[in-house]
Structure 1
Amino acid sequence: MGKRQKTIQRFLEINGWSNAERIKLGGDASFRSYYRLKDKGRGAILMDAPPDLEQVDPFLKIARHLKSLGYSAPSIFAANRGLGLVLLEDFGENTFTSLLAAGENEKKLYLLATDFLIDLHSRPLNQTVPNNLEQYTLNKFIAEVSLLTDWFVPAFNNWRLSEKSKLEYELKWRQLIGLDLGVPQNLVLRDYHVDNLMRLEGRVGIAACGLLDFQDAVVGPVTYDLISLIEDARRDVSIETAESVKKNYLSAFPNICPNQFRRSMAVLGAQRHAKVIGIFTRLCVRDKKMVYLEHIPRVWRLFENACNHPELSIMKTWIDENIPAKYRCIPEGLAASC
């Protein structure tokens, strides 16, 4: 048994789970690992977050805050921050992703997810945002979109951007994100999509919407999580469902101007898609996680579509001049090198 496994076993012994069956679950884009624990009719999830690679404090903080607001984040049974180990409530296996794959009604699930956002955004900022939570600053947005030029572009062997082009890219993003997006600020979970949402049996209303993977939460525009939901990097969302989500959200907030709402969705959608293209490339090159590459063509389509909004004409022009259509794909040979 390795050192880390001995540490985990000791943690389980201290917290009364030493005899539990341990089943490894599928990983995510982080360095965390998850295990389902079963022991005499009871269950839990073990989060293993090596402290030299991941910190559990943000997850614990947001989980407890969401629960204090009455939302369905997992209960924390035990945690050792220094070791990077947490015992969580087991929400089961009904992720929205698995339910959709089994033929569940798409619109119904997406509207449940929207109802949670509506409830969250209906509350005052001083209630929904925990103390000292990081702001989604302009510099943070810029650092994220730079992942496209820092990771995706260099993945091509025969193509580079000039330093002038990179500078123009950043300046155009600063111009776009520096706009008054015309929507309120609130708690942004940041990875709000069907892989991180669960339907919880026996709970009603928005309590049936289980929340996962929110440790990167910040204070930012309310439309960020909404665009993350309906412009998913991993699956195609029907136009009908996406329009229903936007309609329901807007009807709940009549003070939000529909034009500003659509503009903010376009700008934040484009920003997120640029970031994700870079992240998926980095996951392959740096972390040897190839599974995300297959989604890059979809994310490029979403990025291009967002840039068709009139407010994003400057970004559309930059892309057309600097990233030819033949490069808006999985970089050739990248999968073989990962």
Structure 2
Amino acid sequence: MTVSHTAAGAAHSPAPAQGQRQAALQRWLAGLGLDPARLRAIPGDASLRHYWRLEAPARIIMDAPPAVEDTLPFLRMAWRLRQLGLRAPRILAADTAQGFLLLEDLGSLDLKGALDQGADAAAWYQAAIRAIVRMQAGGRRYAAHPPLPPFDVERLRMELDLFPDWYLQRHLGLALDASERALLENTFAKLIRNALEQPQVWVHRDYHARNLMCLDDGDVGILDFQDAVLGPLSYDLVSLLLDRYWDWPADWLDARIQDYLDLARKAGLPVGDDARFRLQLQRMGLQRNLKIVGIFARLNYRDGKAAYLDMIPRFWGYVRTAAATDPDFAAFSDWLARLPAPGEGKS
């Protein structure tokens, strides 16, 4: 999950870090001719990184402790996206040993904020879809060195296991019997096969409204791309369309899927026929949203971020709908229907 470069804190933050790290960051910024006292904190989310905004000149500072995160994947992917003409922030300075980055500021209006203010949802989603297609098509032409990590069986399974480990067992307190474990194994195998059978392209992995900045020229700026992988064609589109913020009408979603298909075909992407792609997209959504339900439970129990439990019902609805409308998942759908609804389990 992520933090977006949205509006900064209401007051100047007294310190950008604690102890020795605070002093190191202040020295680094001073060496760049920047005044640490003028930083404002950018509110965090589920990320272990910290972000700060500097005004006049407008800059973003990323603090990613090396013990927590390697900044090289972020630096590499920022460069790659910009090579494709996408609006990732420019890297203005970097200290990879300490985990400090100075970034271009893409503004404070993300897609969530823009739509909350009444912006044209279809127009901005079309801009976001154009960026997906540009990334996918460009990534097929451009050989990344080192290559992006593959979204392989191990990685897909690790994500899916979040659902039984953290939601079913930790949150609901269920002890799965042999038949239930077999049902999950069968379901997960089908979802993994669906992902691996799709054309493999560059995948952002967290492509949603808080990571997309609405720029003045109508394009979208892209953030939080350091976990990019080589993975299934439908992944980023379903991340965009089925998010935590809005329940779009079915006909609106269908129109956005068609926007993607039209642009993808023009770009030469191997999307196949419409019906097959839509089925792949639906199953990709089932995989991703099972993972999200598990992640949100983990954020509560492991990280003490209880607000994420309140977000589970929307994603639970996505899971139920996807399973209930796919005959290959009828048994799984019937089993889900017997589980407590979100809010009825342990809290």
- Per the normalisation by structure 2, the TM-score is 0.86
Alpha-carbon distance in structure 2 between the residues aligned to 1:158 and 1:53: 30
1:100 is aligned to 115
The equivalences for 1:1-338 within 5 A come to: 2-19=19-36, 21-38=38-55, 41-123=56-138, 125-127=140-142, 129-156=144-171, 158-162=173-177, 165-179=180-194, 183-201=198-216, 203=217, 208-254=219-265, 256-310=272-326, 312-313=328-329, 316-321=330-335, 323-330=336-343, 332=345, 334=347
Q: Is the 8 A contact 2:42 2:51 kept in 1?
A: yes
Change (3 A) 1:53 1:124: closer
Alpha-carbon distance in structure 2 between the residues aligned to 1:326 and 1:165: 12
Change (3 A) 1:74 1:307: same
Question: 1:256-291: per-residue Cα shift (whole Å, max 9, x none)?
Answer: 211210121011100000000000111111111222
Alpha-carbon distance in structure 2 between the residues aligned to 1:331 and 1:287: 21
Once structures 1 and 2 are overlaid, which stretch shifts more, 49-58 or 268-277?
Answer: 49-58
Q: Is the 8 A contact 1:95 1:195 kept in 2?
A: yes
Alpha-carbon distance in structure 2 between the residues aligned to 1:182 and 1:258: 16
Give the SS at the match of 1:34. strand
Give the SS at the match of 2:262. helix
Q: Is the 8 A contact 2:242 2:318 kept in 1?
A: yes
Give the SS at the match of 2:77. helix
Alpha-carbon distance in structure 1 between the residues aligned to 2:79 and 2:343: 39
Once structures 1 and 2 are overlaid, which stretch shifts more, 51-60 or 253-262?
Answer: 253-262
Computed over aligned residues only, the root mean square deviation of the Cα atoms, in angstroms, reads 2.2
Instruction: Quote the offset at 1:124 in angstroms.
Output: 5.8
Give the SS at the match of 2:324. coil
Q: What is the identity percentage for the equivalent residue pairs of Structure 1 and Structure 2?
A: 33
Tell me the amino acid that sits aligned with residue 153 of structure 2. Answer: L
Instruction: Quote the offset at 1:247 in angstroms.
Output: 0.8
Alpha-carbon distance in structure 1 between the residues aligned to 2:176 and 2:23: 48
Structure 2: runs of 5 or more not aligned: 1-17
Alpha-carbon distance in structure 2 between the residues aligned to 1:108 and 1:134: 32
Q: Is the 8 A contact 2:110 2:209 kept in 1?
A: yes
Instruction: Quote the offset at 1:164 in angstroms.
Output: 5.3
Structure 1: runs of 5 or more not aligned: none
Tell me the amino acid that sits aligned with residue 313 of structure 2. Answer: P
Change (3 A) 1:159 1:124: closer
Tell me the amino acid that sits aligned with residue 30 of structure 2. Answer: E
Tell me the amino acid that sits aligned with residue 109 of structure 1. Answer: W
Alpha-carbon distance in structure 2 between the residues aligned to 1:127 and 1:272: 27
Instruction: Quote the offset at 1:182 in angstroms.
Output: 5.8
Instruction: Quote the offset at 1:157 in angstroms.
Output: 6.0
Instruction: Quote the offset at 1:170 in angstroms.
Output: 2.7
Question: 1:2-51: per-residue Cα shift (whole Å, max 9, x none)?
Answer: 2221121111112221355111111121201111112xx21111111122
Alpha-carbon distance in structure 1 between the residues aligned to 2:97 and 2:182: 40
2:12 is aligned to none
Instruction: Quote the offset at 1:331 in angstroms.
Output: 6.0
Change (3 A) 1:257 1:84: same
Change (3 A) 1:157 1:311: closer
- Per the normalisation by structure 1, the TM-score is 0.89
Instruction: Quote the offset at 1:300 in angstroms.
Output: 0.4
Tell me the amino acid that sits aligned with residue 298 of structure 1. Answer: R
Once structures 1 and 2 are overlaid, which stretch shifts more, 24-33 or 249-258?
Answer: 249-258
Total equivalences in the alignment: 325
Alpha-carbon distance in structure 1 between the residues aligned to 2:33 and 2:289: 43
Q: Is the 8 A contact 2:52 2:61 kept in 1?
A: yes
Once structures 1 and 2 are overlaid, which stretch shifts more, 19-28 or 59-68?
Answer: 19-28
Give the SS at the match of 1:118. helix
Change (3 A) 1:21 1:167: farther
